[in-house]
Structure 1
């Protein structure tokens, strides 16, 4: 596995999450930068900029990298879209001058909608640096064990009722709370029950927003022709309760 250097502290957390996943795909490929360039049609210097957070890669480059390792491109595309929406103080072109002018892997119509670059500063600096050090920095041999945040394990039930044309599962009546990965509580359990009711399995209704729940949310957003971001807001609640 490559020994990655820490990302710049000024990157927005959404950008950090995307670049970390991009680096993982590169590690999984086992390819050097020159070999990666040869197989994707994007230059080694361009990939180097992508991996250090200087430039957001084009959607086609991300798809090509995911294809090399047999990874599902949906999750990395969702992360890339979130990164493209981060605040920016500059927006360099996606295509760098030294990238080859020849044919490249074509992006799907869905991924062509994704944004441009996402270098940021300001409020995300401290959080971005913390995420980077946590994910990428090796732990010293003499490091003391850190306390872990343990998510509560509560048994939730799904008791479906319909009122005023809306479905409820007995855990929460919210129609607007914003939910995303790593959150937990009765609102998440309500989401999981509604996903099950709509035919999108999130696994058990345990109140923890994990990868299975995120995948189910993405599938539901696709089916209802909503913005696909893996997060739950008023539009997704309305679709599931309707």
Structure 2
């Protein structure tokens, strides 16, 4: 079972962040369940060599493989399907990972970009969190379960569309609201006060993250009433984030890494190579699995 549980190969540098995000989640779930590629093959019906290509970023898995993977790992299939939809849109027509042959190919994919990538991943995951997870017992023929009739259930698509509308309104409000014009000058707003973590992300689950190149968010790390450390950007203790992720949870992790003496560079909310190296150093120091991905175990160390 453990014959192929050696450290993962580095993903291709050219891999789009949305495709990378999907692969990182699949890798993490596989390792968490302690499944070898052969065991995964026997549980899903897809060959060991196919999973080797899927999990090393050379080919995107088809939808049916993602559903089978979720069942094999007892994972949230709807969330993985939402990430898969974004990954397919990101790599369709590009020279990144070759898209697997599967149904539900989206047409007119959105253009790539750091801010667009972050918004798409966040909107998809937020829409999925609003509904129930796909149950392993649902037949293949049900819509949204990999039968080719629909990549996602209609209510998921509607939720994503609603999230896009909310994002547009919030962006417009940020542009016209006084006090947001001085972010690029040491955090001083027009009203003369200095922006803090709380003013930037009072409720990270409700405010969309927008990546700003060169922006180094303040890191007022403090110990809360529960005895754990927080920087004011996210309360998560379980979110999976890895190279290519762009969200408030990344800012939180970067601040906590800096607090613990593992500087990740700027606390800018994008999980790049420097952040990945800092995470690996922390994991090595804490005797965790050194994979450069922040999950439940790594959050546990960061929060102490």
TM-score normalised over the length of structure 1: 0.46
Bigger relative contact order (CA 8 A; separation at least 6): 1
TM-score normalised over the length of structure 2: 0.37
